[in-house]
Every structure is written in C-alpha cells, then in structure tokens.
C-alpha cells in the first residue's frame, strides 16, 4: 500500500529510486536505528543525497514511509478487534502490536508518539493507526472494563513510552511485555 505521506512519483526512474531508498533506509535503520546517516542511506541506495531529500524532505518522512505497511497493519488490526468482542483483550492485543511495531528500529518510539502531520492536512497512516487504538480504549472504558479516568491519549503515550524503555541499553523484550501487562492490569476497573 502506498503511503499517504508522500506523493507517488510519476516517472519510472523516480519510482524506482524511491523504492531503492526505502530498502536502503530499512537496512540502515535496522542496523543503526533511526538516527542512521542519511548520506549512508543515499549511498547504499546508489543515489545522490539530493534525490533522498527530494523524495523525503525530513528524516521523519522517510522513517514513516518505511514503516507505512506496518502501520497499516496496526490500523487494520484495530478495526478488526473493534468488530470482534472482548474489549479488554482487544486493548491488550492492540497495544502489544503497537509496541512491537515501535521496537523494530531503535529510536522509533518518539516518531510514533508524535508523528508529524502531513502538509496536505490528511491523517497520516500513523495517525490512523493511533485512532484505531484510541477507539478500542474508548470502548473498553464505556464497557466498564477499564477505569473511567483512563484517557486514550495518555494510554497511547504510555505505550510509546514502554517502547522507549525497550530502546534503552540492557532491557530485553520480556521487560516491555511485563511492563505492559502490569500497566494494563492497573488500569482495569475494580470489580465492585
């Protein structure tokens, strides 16, 4: 699926360069995190730095374009879970997927927490994904399985924050899963 954050190039060579850049960026981000040198990315893609900037005017634009498919998956998962039952389990499962998505590149948590709004005013894929998660949280609160004082944005921020914890040195993925479980558990409505 094509990202909503960047126009699809019309010329064949431009489309090809875009694809090469995305592949090179994925490799570089995987190895060195989202702060990887953009010069290196351009070199690995076999294009000049100017071409990279033409396709992706900011680092965040490149990062979000690279994970666009993943964010689409998160969005779809959210709508599917909303259609099914189990409001609390849905929140848990979606948050887990959101956190896992953030864990693929070091430094990604900040971009997920504050995705730059696209210039055209449309909602970015990241925004759409987060909205799907927020809808699940709202339902869980309305159904009375999450505490009434839970704010969807707060919960999304905390999920990104847990991803951030996983980016720190010497934290294993198990710690993030445990943090999420402990956290969601603490937000369950008391069975009064």
Partner DNA sequence: ACCTGAACACCGTTCAAGT
Binds 58, which of its own copies, DNA, none (CB < 5 to 8 A, cut-off by type)?
DNA
Q: What is the DSSP string of 64-95?
A: HHHTHHHHHHHHHHHHHHHHSS-HHHHHHHHH
Of the pair 20, 112, the CB lying nearest its own copies is at 112
SS3 of 117, please?
coil
Binds 50, which of DNA, its own copies, none (CB < 5 to 8 A, cut-off by type)?
DNA
Residue of 190, 186, 78 whose CA lies nearest to 139: 78
Taking CB under 8 A as the rule, does residue 185 contact its own copies? yes
d(CA 8, CA 176): 36
User: Is 104 in contact with 71 (CB distance < 8 Å)?
Assistant: no
Shortest Cβ 44–DNA spacing (Å): 12
Shortest Cβ 142–its own copies spacing (Å): 18
Stretch in the footprint of DNA (CB under 7 A) among 41-49, 85-93, 100-108, 128-136: 41-49
Taking CB under 8 A as the rule, does residue 98 contact its own copies? no
Name the β-bridge partners of 188.
Answer: 146
Q: Which two tokens stand for residue 44?
A: 């690995």
Taking CB under 8 A as the rule, does residue 76 contact its own copies? no
Residue of 32, 40, 42, 34 whose CA lies nearest to 59: 34
Binds 186, which of DNA, its own copies, none (CB < 5 to 8 A, cut-off by type)?
its own copies
d(CA 81, CA 184): 17
Enumerate binding residues for its own copies (CB under 8 A).
109-110, 113-114, 147, 149-151, 154, 157-158, 160-162, 164-165, 168-171, 175, 178-179, 182-183, 185-187, 190
């Amino acid at each position: 699926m094509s990202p909503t954050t960047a126009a699809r190039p019309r010329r064949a060579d431009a489309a090809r360069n875009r694809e090469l850049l995305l592949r090179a960026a994925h490799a570089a981000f995987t190895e060195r995190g989202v702060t990887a040198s953009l010069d290196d990315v351009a070199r690995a893609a076999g294009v000049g730095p100017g071409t990279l900037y033409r396709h992706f005017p900011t680092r965040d634009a490149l990062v979000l374009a690279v994970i666009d498919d993943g964010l689409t998956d998160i969005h779809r998962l959210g709508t599917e879970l909303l259609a099914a039952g189990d409001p609390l389990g849905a929140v848990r499962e979606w948050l887990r997927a959101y956190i896992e998505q953030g864990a693929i590149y070091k430094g990604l948590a900040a971009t997920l927490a504050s995705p730059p709004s696209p210039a055209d005013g449309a909602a970015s894929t990241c925004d759409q994904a987060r909205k799907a998660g927020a809808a699940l949280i709202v339902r869980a609160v309305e159904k009375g399985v999450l505490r009434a004082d839970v704010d969807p944005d707060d919960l999304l921020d905390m999920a990104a924050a847990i991803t951030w914890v996983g980016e720190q040195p010497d934290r294993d993925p198990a710690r993030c899963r445990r943090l999420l479980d402990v956290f969601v558990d603490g937000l369950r409505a008391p069975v009064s």
